[in-house]
Structure 1
Amino acid sequence: MFPPVSEQIALLTRGAVDLHVKAELEARLEESRKTGKPLRVKAGFDPTRPDLHLGHAVLLSKMRQFQDLGHEAILLVGEFTAMVGDPTGKNDARPRLSRAEVQESAKSYTEQAFKILDRNKTIIRSNSEWLDKLTPTDIVELMAKMTVSRMLERNDFSQRFEAGRPIYQHEFLYPLLQGYDSVALGNDIELGGTDQLFNLLVGRDLMSKYGQRPQMVLTTPLLEGIDAKVENGVVVGAKMSKSADNYIGLTESPLTMFRKVMQIDDEVIFRYFELLSSLSNEAIAKLKADKAGGRDPREIKALFGKEIVTRFHDAQAALAAEEEFKKIYSADAIPDNVEEKTLTTDGPTLWIAKALSATGLVKSTGEGKRLVEQGGVEVDKVRITDGNFQLERGKKYLLRVGSKNRRFVYVVVAP
């Protein structure tokens, strides 16, 4: 029923950051092969942000890998804990949500999650099922299993404590309640982002203290945005987020998704392959070798773009997006809706910098002249570098500025 343990480990650890503990995971995978019983794999979310992007897809894709290997996936809706507010990564208390707000966001989240997870093989639970039932005595017993000093090991808590900023008592409850979810579910392993490592390990500790076999913990990285770069062999940049406008949304149009993939740095794209692609490690290594051997990186990015569009739309949409992208953004492509402007001149010619300024392609003639001299302007698909270039009266020209963010205009110099 299950593939060999070595094959499972190779797939499940690809792109992972933390694994507590690898030897335990190997042992339980071997046990599941012998007994035919799948591992129970938990990933929880607080539905505070209903719009998902590829950054969220990293964790969900890891969960899908467990599903494809035959294991049981539990998608836990943090209905109760979302009303508490996760303090992870926050310098101040996170706003608390009403139950109605949480439930509405959860519907949107789960529908988008099923673009990645197998709906028929996913168990959805809500932690309000058991957390709503905890008595004050139960909560006191739960709190007694963790010290304040252990809580202050968290960077966000320790930083606020040292800076004299308030830490509210309900925030200390959050990691305990998340950990208690694992006690209630009795899962074998919990997945989360690297920013959740502390909370996940609390769950591992609590399971032991409640007399259960402790869960294993596997974390996935926080995906950098499409504006990230590689410096000294390391991917650097802000994590993908809607607020930073460096994201690829799961519900965006096929062309928008494909276009944004093509904007990713030629080296950073391999980070996306490793974290999100269904290609094997060997196939990704071959793509790296192909690029080193001179293959056009745009071809490689297009492969990832088509895979992502196919996953969240369909194969036909992916092919259409690629063709539309080539039509609009390829080096020789001219958009269908290029504006045409008629300009007048007192003499027999019109200075190129004045034409660029008059059409709004640049802010001033000085900027236009510099752009020409820097090689950033084409006239009728021919790059010009003469800052004093003249357009003749009575003729029509196609002007283009920029390379990545290209802009066009037809100019008619009135006779």
Structure 2
Amino acid sequence: MLGRLRQIGRGRAVLAALLMGIAGALFALALSWRPAIAPITPPSPGSFTPEQVARGAVLAKIGDCAVCHTRDNGRPLAGGRPLATPFGTLYSDNLTPDPETGIGTWSAAAFRRAMKDGVSRTGEHLYPALPYEHFTHVRDADLDALYAFLMMRRPVHEAAPANRLIFPLGFRPLLAGWKLLFLHHGETPTDSSRSAEWNRGAYLVEGLGHCGGCHTPRNLAGGEIRSQAYAGGIAEGWRAPPLNAANPAARKWTQEALVTYLRTGISPDHSAAAGPMGPVVDSLSQVPESEVRAIAAYIVSKMGGSPSGPVAPLPDHAEAAASRFPEGAVLFAGACAGCHGQGAPMMGQGRPLLSLATALRDTEPNSAAQAILQGIEPPVAGRGPKMPGFADALTDRQIAAVLGYARARYTDRPDWKKLPAAVAKARKEGTQP
């Protein structure tokens, strides 16, 4: 009899646990549910003023919309670009006003919800590859201008491929939990002790510019670590350097130098734009200079303001580096010195000295390795330094030798550790979609 009672008790406990699990799952689904917003007929050209559309065009450049929403050799804003993440590959959506594959049936309210809450018109949660944790800080009037610009583009009928994510991350309701942890609403605060230009820069950088999306480290769940804002991150296998006091530049950035860099892709006293930063520069080269100056004012203040005092001499420890990295010295002389060596003709064409290169001075070798592997393309209309890639010409060990030599010769920073493994990882990341 006692055994029978124990069996009944265990059965009731199992049933209670099962019911609690079902109740929890239903609660989670209810928490994640978002209603669909009714479709509309695509707006006519007369729905928006020319001024609103023009303003939206500028905002689209500041937000780099076409960079992520245009695949290689694809139509602008038609989506389909693969975005590699630690959780699999996402494909960007079609932002043209095509009624079937784009946002042609989206109202302005549906567009604002997507940008601020990460929810599509149909109620699906959107993946944070769309950086709505930044876009949520953008004012409605600016989102409406961006919407007007997108709705006046030529429709392109092109559906994005299906995402390829590790199980169970393809289950979109899980994103509701992610947002509870990492999506923080509200406008960017205004600092009354700062200039109007600085506050404008804060609004652009923290909002549409979403600079922290690349330049802030992320946790295992893919959320930005807010306590380490602008402490450096990873973007498409490249290192996005810190934009705070830990910025590794050999010479402190000034507002003027950063404006030049953001509009041309090169600062003679700092670096040349490479990797994912190239398309950003291309976009910013097409917006009013006042907007770029505001962005630069805000970022320079985060890096500790303008320099003061005499400029320190630049290191060049050629003999010591060659004795420590003899193979790297030989490879550098054959593959690099023609452009980067002392007295090389290319150095008179605006190419920054390697002793000024941020990538060589960074705590991680990602960007320096990617620059050698993939090369560098001029970001603005083919103007600026161009460097060929050596992925097919040099092995991982040889590239590691060159990096070790260049770091030892042109900086006073400690050696990078496990360089061959780091180069192999960079090569793999550089070939991902």
Normalised by the size of structure 1, how large is the TM-score? 0.29
| Structure number with larger C-alpha Rg | 1
Normalised by the size of structure 2, how large is the TM-score? 0.28
